[in-house]
Amino acid sequence: MNSLNCIALIIISLTAFTSVTVDGLECWMCKGNINPGCNSPFVGQVFAKKKCADNEKVCLKITQNVNGETFHVRKCGVLDPSLPETPESMGCKDVSDRGLPTVEECICNTDGCNGSGRLIAFGVISVLPLIIYSLLIA
């Protein structure tokens, strides 16, 4: 592979794995107790992502159990100031010990990350052109 192809591959790789949010964070916003499509499995085609307020730096997916029924709330949120905005503070946490109807909180900080597990599929799909390109020039 010549140096021009290497540079092109690096640029394509950086583009595929870099997300830049210019207009602020966008999260899915819905309540499963009002619209069942918000629950699992999430039906994203029914909803639109909404722009979060400037102080809302994370997306939340909250799982609640009320009167034996489990539903999800998806929304923008404010990160607890005691937590750094690092990968360690992102993810899902069991909070059932708090005595509230909320049993799990998932926190993330990229556009639409509080939807379903489609982000894994998106990552694979975004790498696919790189694989094809490298096979074609090899």
**pTM higher than the cut 0.75:** no
Q: What is the pLDDT of residues 55-85, one digit of tens each?
A: 999 999 999 998 889 999 999 999 877 766 6
Number of residues written out for the chain: 138
Burial class (CB in 10 A: 0-12, 13-18, 19+), 59: buried
Q: What is the pLDDT of residues 110-128, one digit of tens each?
A: 999 999 754 333 344 444 4
Residue 16 neighbours by CB under 8 Å, 6+ apart? 126, 127, 129, 130
Q: How far is CA 71 from CA 35, 50, 80, in A?
A: 10, 20, 23
How far apart are alpha carbons 23 and 79 in whole angstroms?
A: 19
- Quick one: pLDDT at residue 48? 87
Q: How far is CA 34 from CA 12, 65, 114, in A?
A: 42, 14, 17
134 sits in which H/E element: helix 118-137
